[in-house]
Structure 1
Amino acid sequence: VQSFTEGCAANDMVPGARLVSRTVVAATHKDAAFFGVEPGCELIVVERVRTADGIPVMLENNAFVLADHPYLQTLADKDLTDNSIFALVAEHSGRAPLKSDPCTVEIALADAQAAPLLEVPVGEPLFYMEAYFTDAGGRPLLLGRQKIVGSRYVFDI
């Protein structure tokens, strides 16, 4: 698994991140099944706009089990700005995403919330990617739901 930060570096671009929100939500049945927790368990969802050379490319939504990653709720905003969340998780937990299974990509339209954050018109086609990341031990680590501006991002499959 290559992080957004690593992908930008590999393409000689400067990665950036701007925190949009950090919220605690109750795990749905589907999310709880992936994480191996009870439905209703607290998840922390970190939403950020990811940029490449200052241009918005992705609206990133990453969910973690709060009990496993409490530092994500208490880190100052600057610690989540212009940083790789994969690197922060690895630094604080010793765990890094190794693979994503399953990972789906479909087309979605930019809504009134995503469009201004990504600096695209409402209705702009976006890639919507849902990825279930596990660590080296096969343990669930994070669930990513990303909206990606297709004209600004290339997938290498």
Structure 2
Amino acid sequence: MLNAEHAVPLYVQLKKAVQSAIANGTFNQGDKIPTEIELSETYNVSRITVRKAIEELVSEGYLTKRQGKGTYVNRPKIGRKIDHIISFTAACKANGVSSHSIVTERKKLKADPDTAERLQIQSNEPMLYIQRKRYAGEQPLMLENNYYPFDKFAFLMEANLEGSIYELLRNHYNIDPNQPGETILQIALADEHQAKLLEIPIGQPLFFMNTIIYDQYSKPVHVGKQYIIGDRYQFTL
């Protein structure tokens, strides 16, 4: 129950109570929360207090109001700084969300001229292509397409890649992917293949991030081309 004599304003107490209910699963993703009247009666506060708490939770992305239907719990957004190196696994963990990956493709390819130049190998030299479907919680969030110089990273052909590749490289191979190169962030529309893997409608907006990552010796680790569901991810500068 809220405490009217506490130094913390009632609307802030109510806001924290709703956040706790989301965190502990009382309100799950996609659930409709109680109405203003119901929350007012449950917590013994005015509707003005309820309205202010809900408005802040909406502005912060915890809730969404649907005209004529009510207020619903959002799926959490995963946030990261665009100019920082952080693995998807670490980004999810930092946002309080579990993660896992499914390898959908893993094969040896001949490098096209553009990718070869970025990986500092010769055109038509072998490179390793790994595509993974990456989950935040139980929902797919990203289709990750990475291209590695094959001669240096052939061991990834047989490695368990359900978790963080960056952690695997750091902990077992003394390779630290810690330097971001040029990063291009655009908006793309999901094609049929991407929509099927990400379990979204064809044409849904996606972030498309095209980047290259270097190791501690400024050697290329991989070129990355990632397709990310836009309404569940946010980039900051």
- Please confirm whether the aligned pair reaches a TM-score higher than 0.5, indicating the same fold: yes
> What TM-score comes out, normalization by structure 2 length?
0.62
How much does 1:90 deviate?
A: 2.4
Equivalent residue for 2:146?
A: 62
Q: Give how far 1:95 is off.
A: 0.9
Q: Separation in 1 of the partners of 2:125 and 2:138?
A: 36
Deviations 1:59-101 (A, max 9, x none): 00111011101111122xxx112x1011122234311211221
Report the Cα distance in structure 1 between the residues aligned to 2:203 and 2:108, rounded to whole angstroms: 28
Equivalences for 1:125-144 in 2 at 5 Å?
125-144=205-224
- SS of equivalent to 1:133: strand
Q: Check conservation: 1:58, 1:146, Cα contact below 8 A.
A: yes
Alpha-carbon deviation of 1:17? 0.5
- Higher strand residue share: 1
* Aligned counterpart for 1:37 among listed residues 121, 125, 139: 121
2:175 pairs, out of 95, 100, 106, with: 95
TM-score, structure 1 as length reference: 0.93
Question: In the comparison of the two structures, how many residue pairs are matched?
Answer: 153
**What is the DSSP-based 3-state SS (H/G/I as helix, E as strand, rest coil) of the residue aligned with 2:151?**
coil
For residue 47 of structure 1, what is the aligned residue in structure 2? Answer: 131
Any idea what the Cα deviations from partners look like across 1:80-132, whole Å, max 9, x if unmatched?
12x10111222343112112210001011101111011111011111100111
Q: Is the aligned partner of 1:80 residue 2:161?
A: yes
Greater relative contact order (Cα < 8 A, sep 6+): 1
Question: Which residue of 105, 109, 112 corresponds with 2:192?
Answer: 112
- Aligned-pair identity in percent equals 32
For 1:42-73, what per-residue CA distance to the aligned partner results, in whole angstroms no more than 9, with x for missing partners?
11111011111111110001110111011111
Unaligned runs of at least 5 residues, structure 1: none
Name the structure 2 match of 1:9.
93
| Gaps in structure 2 of 5+ consecutive residues | 1-84
Equivalent residue for 2:228, pick from 145, 148, 151: 148
> Given residue 215 of structure 2, which amino acid in structure 1 is its aligned partner?
D
